[in-house]
Structure 1
Amino acid sequence: MAHVFVTGSSDGLGRGAALELLAAGHRVVVHARNPARAPALKDLVDRGAELVVGDLAEPDETHDLAHQVARLGRMDAVIHNAGTMQRPVLPVNVVAPYLLSVLLERPRRLVFLSSGMHRSGRADLSGFRRTGSRRGPSYSDSKLMVTALAAAFARLWPEVPSNAVDPGWVPTKMGGPSAPDDLRLGHVTQVWLAVSTDPEALTTGGYWHHQQRQEPHRAVHDVSFQDDLLHALAERTGVDV
């Protein structure tokens, strides 16, 4: 039985992953952005899930969220599922996954939600400090950054399998009702990477789509870009990996 923390699990892919993990007998920590969203997780809590609450757009709340999770014990895996397409995207899509990964007692596995749109992202950190709705990085930029972040953790923490996942264009609130991909397949890879003993699932530094390893944007494995990103995150948060 693994102990797995899934961010953004009140709906969509995060909820699907949490449900599948619970059904398989794992211990699951679910996350709601605020108390108003917590009732959406009542059925999972009734099945044994542990609930934590905090807004990942707010650094102070992200720190508090890490403390809430830490009180529940070391995580065997963290699935960084939460994301937003609404600018500013950096706090939720990049800064929060970084902070939680570093602040928690080192998880045994890390899974980061990427997107096929990361391939149109810019490997440019000049706008990292610009958080305004018009001038800040785009969603694609943020997904390139978080994919590179997954690869950076794989390099720096070789004992911790760290991977990024493209869930496909699935019919979630973010993807929209007309999205063509299978919703269930959207979370299968995350769960597999978090808990499977399959040797492939225990590899690190991968970019995955439907349990198939793919080649990401060339900047993802650029060590200079990774280091620049880590430096920018440490400077912004005051927390150094």
Structure 2
Amino acid sequence: MTTTLITGANKGLGHETARRLIEAGHTVWIAARDPERGRQAAEGLGGRFVQLDVTDDASVAAAAEIVAAAGGLDVLINNAGIAGPRTPATEQTGEQALEVYNTNVIGIVRTINAFVPLLRESAAPTIVNVTSGLGSFALVHDGSRIESTIVSPLYTSSKSAVTMLTVQYARALPEMRINAADPGYTATDLNGHSGPQTATEGTDAVVELATRGGEGPTGTFIDRSGVVEF
């Protein structure tokens, strides 16, 4: 039985990823900041709830202890993220930048550090980092792609950082499969449900990486169509 933990799993892409992986036979930890919403999501899906705030070291450490005591972990999906301010680029502040990076980037560092000891005990240790095509230089310079039309310095640069973290952790932990997934433009709370893709379509790449059973390449960046250019 594969045991998976998904951060930010009480709604949106995290919730749909949990639903699909439970359906595929995984034991899934629904990790969320809000205990009420997290428990409600876990009960509705048939998963397990653990309180986890990726911006808080103590919260992440406590969650890792709970998961360890329950039997360990095989797959970690770093899904939690925020969009940040929707104001013009020159009005975005350093304080806002710290908030976005603390959740989207440093939160991944905290979570990986806390859960690597558990993953090392797995026969097929896997980490999936949910990033975005908005963090790809190739895609934001491609005029045929919607990514080229978006101006959001803090969010997009944070996702570039997530992609590079994926490469670096893959090199640091060659015994694990560590890859990044771009959901694509999916209808979620993050974009006011404006995306043309369904939540199921948006989780295709994440589910693909989470169900490889420790096989395949590491340090890659994919979407539902295949490998994405950095």
* TM-score normalised by length of structure 1: 0.75
* TM-score normalised by length of structure 2: 0.78
Residue ranges of structure 2 left out of the alignment (5+ in a row): 85-95, 120-124, 138-152
CA 1:83/1:194 → structure 2, altered by over 3 Å: closer, same or farther? Answer: same
Q: Does 1:92 align with 2:109?
A: no
Using the TM superposition, name which of 74-83 and 60-69 deviates more. 60-69
SS in 2 for 1:90: helix
Residue of structure 2 aligned with 1:78, choices 76, 79, 100: 76
| Conservation of the 8 A alpha-carbon contact between 1:4 and 1:77 | yes
Aligned residues: 197
Using the TM superposition, name which of 154-163 and 68-77 deviates more. 68-77
Residue of structure 2 aligned with 1:115, choices 111, 116, 132: 132
Q: Does 1:145 align with 2:156?
A: no
% same residue: 31
Following TM superposition, by how much is the alpha carbon of 1:85 offset from its aligned partner in structure 2, in angstroms?
1.3
RMSD (Å), alpha carbons: 2.1
Following TM superposition, by how much is the alpha carbon of 1:21 offset from its aligned partner in structure 2, in angstroms?
0.9
| Conservation of the 8 A alpha-carbon contact between 1:170 and 1:176 | no
CA 1:71/1:44 → structure 2, altered by over 3 Å: closer, same or farther? Answer: farther
| Conservation of the 8 A alpha-carbon contact between 2:176 and 2:214 | no
Could you tell me which residue of structure 1 aligns to residue 212 of structure 2? 196
CA 1:39/1:27 → structure 2, altered by over 3 Å: closer, same or farther? Answer: closer
Q: Distance in 2 between matches of 1:118 and 1:71?
A: 36
Q: Distance in 1 between matches of 2:118 and 2:31?
A: 19
Letter in 1 for 2:8: G
Runs (4+) of structure 1 moved beyond 4 Å?
A: none
Letter in 2 for 1:82: A
Following TM superposition, by how much is the alpha carbon of 1:149 offset from its aligned partner in structure 2, in angstroms?
0.7
After TM superposition, list the pairs within 5 Å mapping 1:1-241 onto structure 2.
1-44=1-44, 47=46, 49-86=47-84, 87=96, 88-104=99-115, 105-107=117-119, 108-119=125-136, 138-197=154-213, 202-216=216-230
Letter in 2 for 1:179: G
